[in-house]
Amino acid sequence: METSEVSETSQRGAAVGGPAFLEVDVREVAWDDADAVALRAGQRAEIAEMYGTPDSEAGQPPSADDVAVFLVAYGPDGTPLGCGGLRRLDGATGEVKRMYVTPGARGTGAAGAILRALEDWARRSGWSALRLETGDRQLAAVRFYTRAGYARIPNFGPYEHVPDSLCFERAL
């Protein structure tokens, strides 16, 4: 997959009580891109520490074979700030996978830029909804997705019988 620019947002100013908003450049990258691999490793390490297990993935982990698009957000100096991807669930629905922002970039607008770029890609691809799963210990993620318009739904697919999974959906 060739690297291409997907979206760019420019938000400036200071977040109340947090880091300043950054100009974020969100780009489509290959699954095996070095920045994408490093960001996903950071995400998995953080989840492993939070839940006390190196493997908390319900179902098949995402891979180059089943992720339709993978994005990385870069700061003004070219530093990778975060990532996210989409997996097709059916003809009209996708699942947000490996959404992650580095701890130092949280509160800068990077997560919102990634999610908007994923939603834009999904709309252009003819999808009408996105779903996602997060864990019950990831309260900041729950707040983020709720503010972004995602509503709680019954657990779906591989998360159906996972008690610490929380599932959400948003119509596009």
* Average model confidence (pLDDT) across the chain: 89
- CA angle, 95 then 138 then 114, to 5°: 45
d(CA 168, CA 70): 20
What is the pLDDT averaged over residues 123-149? 97
Looking at residue 79, its pLDDT comes to 97
Looking at residue 5, its pLDDT comes to 41
- Cβ neighbour number for residue 37 with a 10 Å cutoff: 14
d(CA 55, CA 20): 34
The CATH T-level fold of domain 4-128 is Aminopeptidase (3.40.630)
Looking at residue 3, its pLDDT comes to 37
CA 43 to chain CA mean position, Å: 10
Q: Provide the pairing of β-strand 4-10 with 23-28.
A: antiparallel
Looking at residue 1, its pLDDT comes to 35
